[in-house]
């Protein structure tokens, strides 16, 4: 099929920043795009060929949108899977597939998938309701501390809580959830796997993630991860096996723990471009976004090696500021060496909302990390 400067139409469910960055590459290749999002202010609106307003969780909206494209992909997991399944039956190519999304959307199903496929993950218990957890602790079936995770719709630190005492359960929503053994880990790692419709696979270099202590959001992504080669190889192997088990087409970001004794455990996965791969736009031969396009269209996959060391800093709304966004001191960071800001185009800021990111590239990774800290301390996302 001719994808370039042709009648081919790529559909994207979700119009956020991931879609916006994906559209940089569809523009580069002159691939026609149609985007569906619930917000009229979606970052994708200005860059897509067609923009449709609608609810991603509504069956008819997603089904009718998907009927008019040749290949359908996502930039967010929270979409109507029944509609995707119906489209697949009618011959529309949907990547990732409905079966994969159905498993990944629910954290309990996702964890069961790992155990069923002999993929390494932390031990867990599954509960229909949070209220059942107290009984399990009283009966000795569950030991403190553990990590509580809502089965549905958790992301970026929402729907996750470390439970150290019984009182920590107070105020949690009474929903389907899992209680996961708290893993003492050295590092949080991520590997992005690309798998094409023809079964060709590649992995991007392992990255390590440094987290914000309060917000449970990634502050820095560092590539390559500062870990032994043997651990990196193990992480890449686990990621490849995970992608194969899902029979996944497109990008799969596999987030993992490196334990104290260097075992690798899967934390969770995302079947799309991912925050831990943003640095690839500047630091890699092929960005994660271009690679996702290549994979879902069955084109040869690109080279994933890094040109330089890369560190990414998330730009999130500062605490105490809500309203029309202002990027304070952005000129100061533009003067720094190897610094590229990406502003997502969200006009309204609020505390901890992802508003953009900054990539720092340098032949010396420790220097890139130093500049990243300077960037973090200089730029502020505030409101008028």
Coil/strand/helix, residue 149? strand
Kindly list the distances between the CA atom of residue 119 and the CA atoms of 110, 243, 246, 291, 340, in Å, as whole numbers in the listed order. Answer: 11, 11, 11, 25, 37
* 111 annotated as a binding-site residue: no
Residues 6 or more apart in contact with residue 12 via CB below 8 angstroms: 19, 22, 23, 33, 34, 35, 36, 44, 48, 72, 73, 74, 75
Q: Looking at residue 282, what DSSP letter applies? A: H
CB 232 within 8 A of CB 190: no
CB 34 within 8 A of CB 12: yes
* 188 annotated as a binding-site residue: yes
* 314 annotated as a binding-site residue: no
Beta-bridge partner residues of 380: 328
* 180 annotated as a binding-site residue: yes
CB 216 within 8 A of CB 261: no
CA distance 254 to 236: 9
How would you list the strands of the sheet with 124-127, edge to edge?
124-127, 177-181, 146-150, 160-163
H or E element, residue 99:
helix 98-105
CB 235 within 8 A of CB 264: yes
* 267 annotated as a binding-site residue: yes
H or E element, residue 357:
strand 354-362
Residues comprising the binding site? 107, 149, 180-183, 188, 267-268
Binding residues for ATP: 107, 149, 180-183, 188, 267-268
């Amino acid at each position: 099929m001719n994808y370039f400067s042709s009648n081919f139409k790529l559909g994207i469910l979700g119009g956020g920043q991931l879609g916006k960055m994906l559209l940089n590459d569809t523009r580069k290749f002159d691939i026609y795009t149609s985007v569906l999002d619930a917000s009229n202010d979606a970052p994708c609106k200005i860059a897509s060929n067609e923009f449709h307003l609608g609810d991603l969780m509504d069956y008819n909206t997603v089904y009718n949108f998907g009927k008019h494209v040749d290949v359908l992909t996502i930039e967010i997991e929270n979409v109507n899977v029944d509609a995707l399944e119906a489209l697949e039956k009618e011959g529309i190519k949907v990547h990732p597939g409905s079966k994969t999304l159905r498993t990944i959307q629910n954290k309990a199903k996702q964890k069961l998938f790992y155990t069923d496929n002999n993929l390494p993950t932390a031990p867990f218990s599954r509960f229909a309701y949070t209220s059942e957890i107290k009984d399990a602790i009283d009966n000795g079936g569950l030991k403190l501390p553990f990590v509580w995770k809502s089965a549905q719709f958790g992301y970026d630190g929402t729907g996750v809580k470390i439970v150290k005492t019984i009182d920590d359960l107070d105020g949690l929503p009474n929903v389907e959830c899992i209680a996961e053994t708290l893993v003492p880990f050295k590092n949080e790692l991520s590997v992005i796997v690309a798998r094409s419709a023809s079964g060709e696979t590649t992995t991007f270099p392992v990255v390590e993630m440094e987290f914000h202590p309060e917000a449970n959001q990634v502050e820095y992504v560092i590539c390559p991860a500062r870990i032994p080669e043997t651990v990196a190889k193990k992480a890449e192997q686990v990621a490849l096996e995970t992608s194969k088990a899902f029979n996944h087409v497109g990008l799969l970001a596999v987030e993992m723990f490196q334990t104290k004794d260097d075992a690798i455990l899967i934390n969770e996965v995302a079947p799309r471009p991912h925050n831990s791969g943003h640095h690839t736009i500047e630091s890699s031969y092929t960005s994660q976004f271009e690679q996702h396009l290549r994979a879902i269209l069955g084109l040869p996959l690109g080279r994933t090696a890094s040109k330089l060391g890369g560190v990414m800093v998330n730009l999130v709304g500062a605490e105490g500021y809500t309203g029309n966004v202002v990027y304070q001191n952005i000129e100061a960071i533009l003067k720094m060496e190897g610094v590229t800001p990406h502003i997502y185009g969200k006009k309204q800021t609020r505390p901890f909302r992802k508003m953009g990111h900054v990539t720092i590239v340098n032949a010396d990774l420790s220097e890139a990390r130093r500049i990243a800290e300077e960037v973090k301390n200089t730029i502020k996302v505030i409101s008028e």
